[in-house]
Amino acid sequence: MDQLPSFGTAISDVIGPTLETYEPLLIQNASKIRSLSSETHKYGPHPRQQLDVYHTPTPKLINRRQTHYGYSTVIPDYRLVHQHDAVFPSGGEDLVVEWIVKNAETLGAEGVDLFIMGNSAGGVHLSTFLLCERFAGTRRKVLGDVGRVRLKDRAEVLETYFGGDHVGKSPLGLLRSARGRGSLDILKSKMRVFVLNGELDPEDEIMKPRDAFVAEWEKIGTKESRMALAVDTMRGQNHVSPFCSLGTGIERGEAWGHQVGTFRDDIRKTTP
């Protein structure tokens, strides 16, 4: 991790050197990582739409390699812009919540707690699922009735995926629309949201949009909205390094996993 600051913060600059830094560390632990029991399933008609399930005792977690921390993990391959004809709101579909609902019996006989994580574009897809009206029906299945800066190099991708209204379909735009419709179903369910950024995340692409999203959330202004949102930072991490660091056995690199684990455990202990 000591090398990460020297790579800068721009996402395009950090991807290559970050992956090269972590590759030998992960190869060193390959046997341990591959020792986990897993299976692959189709969750949609497109060849890209596959997911891997890594089994461990309940509860369930979507995204990221958290199985060693005691959580069964579902990792979906979502469709990409230009490669798989991905257009909004395909990211919300590829979050595979609907698949989990339909295949709950294969994941455990008892009810489970569901935690969903998304990194980078995955975070956009998670926001799409949580805030877009199209997924209200699926949200109801897991929530219940009670509470259980446009950059030039991104312009083409944004236009292809979102169409003409990339602002309105962004996480911030979806939140504004949802707030305008009234009470959010995700708040009624007592769901919790954890916004976690790397200390070395870029200001223009990540931190300023993050701050705008949090500021919009705070405008909801209710007790439930204040309780629902938590914001924290992963010290020493850039935009790419978090998902590379789990499995390395390096305490500082894996610390963010404990941040997430503590957040989850607190919810399970304190939420009725």
Per-residue three-class SS string for 139-202? HHHHHCCCCCCCCHHHHHHHHHHHCCCCCCCCHHHHHHHHHHHCCCHHHHCCCCEEEEEECCCC
148 confidence band (pLDDT: 50, 70, 90): very low
| Mean pLDDT for the stretch of residues 142-158 | 57
Percent of the chain predicted with pLDDT > 90: 61
- What DSSP string describes 199-218? TT--IIIIIHHHHHHHHHHH
pLDDT in tens, 202-236: 998 899 999 999 999 999 999 999 999 999 999 99
Q: What is the dihedral of CA 233, 238, 241, 245, to 10 degrees?
A: -40
Mean model confidence pLDDT for the chain = 86
Q: How far apart are CA 224 and CA 210, in angstroms?
A: 20
Outline which parts of the chain fall under CATH 3.40.50.1820: 37-183
The CATH fold assigned to 37-183 is Rossmann fold (3.40.50)
pLDDT in tens, 178-194: 999 887 888 988 889 99
Q: Which pTM value belongs to this model?
A: 0.74
